[in-house]
Structure 1
Amino acid sequence: MKKHLLLFIFFIVTSVAIAQEAASVLGVVINSESKEPLENVNIVNLNQVIGTATNNKGAFEISAKVNDTLHFSYLGFKSIKVRVTNDWLKFGSANIELTELALALEEVVLTELKLTGYLEVDIKQVPVINDNYQYAISGLPSTGYEAGKKSTISKVIGSIFNPADFLHRMFGKKPNEMRKLKKMKQDDEIRNLLASRFDREMLTVLLNVDRVDLDEIVSQCNYSKNFIQTANDLQILDAISECYEEYKVLNRNK
């Protein structure tokens, strides 16, 4: 009898653990003012590094456990983080409200070019847009991304042998965040999300760095200023990931 009781308790505990592991939360994202549902809101579980988006009715479902943090972002609205609770998992769907932001256009300054009519003279007045080489990243189109003149490997070697180097400090002190890179690259929802964004918000949240440090990481990996300014978030992700993989290999042999 005692043996059967222990087996029963083990079965219950195991079932609860499996249920918690496979749990998911449901919800509807709405405009806080109009109460209208918002379609294609980006939702990322920051703990499990998986993503999804709301449907045309604002509804979503995403895998989550208690205390996981969900990040909600939508163009023109303030992004928010929501903690998953026992009540949410137990009682079902929840309404998530996003607040609209006031958008302002940045001032654009136009510089007049005084042309002479002579091609050889006038062409020298045209500002150089890009004088960088291309750097290919595995898994993405072979046309490659623009980078600086020195190789990424040589830059990473410098970071390893110089303890004060920014890359060494960032990669060395944030191993957990950097391990998320692999998960981020494997999740199609997150990749699709990052491919359409240029604001770096999702990257800074997932990697737990601010925008300045994120740009500095890419710069120290020897990518050009032009690349940093024009690349989408997916390209930035793969640039950092490639650099980090080189860093791990070289640091292992240090």
Structure 2
Amino acid sequence: MKKQLLLFFLVFGVITISVSQEHQKFLYANVKDNIGSVYNAHVINLTTKQGTFTNENGEFRILAKKNDSLKISFVGYKSTIIIVASNHFGMQKNTFKLVKTTYELSEVNIKKHNLSGFLSTDSKNIKTTNQINATTLNLPYAGSKQLTPAERTLQTAMGGSNAFTFGLLNKISLDYIVNKASGRIKKLKKLKAIETLEVKVNKIKNNYSSAIVQEYHIKKSDIYKFIYYCTSDEKFEETYNSGEINIILFLKKKAEVFKKLNLNDYK
């Protein structure tokens, strides 16, 4: 008897599911607002919990049956619920509209202030919180310049950051005396100058190499040669520190002279 009842419920369940599925049909529709199609709107059948999204033309299709509830939603629009009717089916395309939602912002209280609207003046009146860094913590060497390898070697050879001081408490580093006498300090100063020059050369190459090749017609293989030629000019340092426009004019002028000095390569 129990087996018969179990078999009855199984058969009844299959028939119920089949009947339910038979009633489901594809519903075709598109979603629009007052301007045009709404792309990527979310459509969900609240009855079957199945969902889909509209395509770039605002179109979608979804399995549904009469009296199912379709919820259509999209950010910035008021969600709408459609009760499926018999006339929604077939090859006809239904049109469902979404209405934009107006969001009201909470009231904002503006505190009184003494700002004038001029940045140069107001920046002085703005209170800032104390920063926590090496300087505020009074750590050793806080705020000091980060030295290059050549600068660090030279400083060490001169006896540290304070090689010697003048005054009643005149102190001279022994390292400074030894390295000065041996000529090491002079040599290290030359190395520092070379290192500084290389930094400037690489900066010019990185910033102006395209102009040097394309506009001034210097060969790619001659870029470094040309830049080092420019550094030999007595006005190079002054020009380098005088701004981008002056550097460009300087390079353009030197390029013409450089090509004349290398006529075999620039005919």
The TM tier, using the shorter chain, reads: 0.3 to 0.5
**Which has the higher Rg, Structure 1 or Structure 2?**
2
Q: Indicate the structure whose relative CO is greater, using CA pairs within 8 Å and at least 6 residues apart.
A: 1
Q: What TM-score does the superposition give when structure 1 sets the normalisation length? A: 0.35
Q: What TM-score does the superposition give when structure 2 sets the normalisation length? A: 0.33
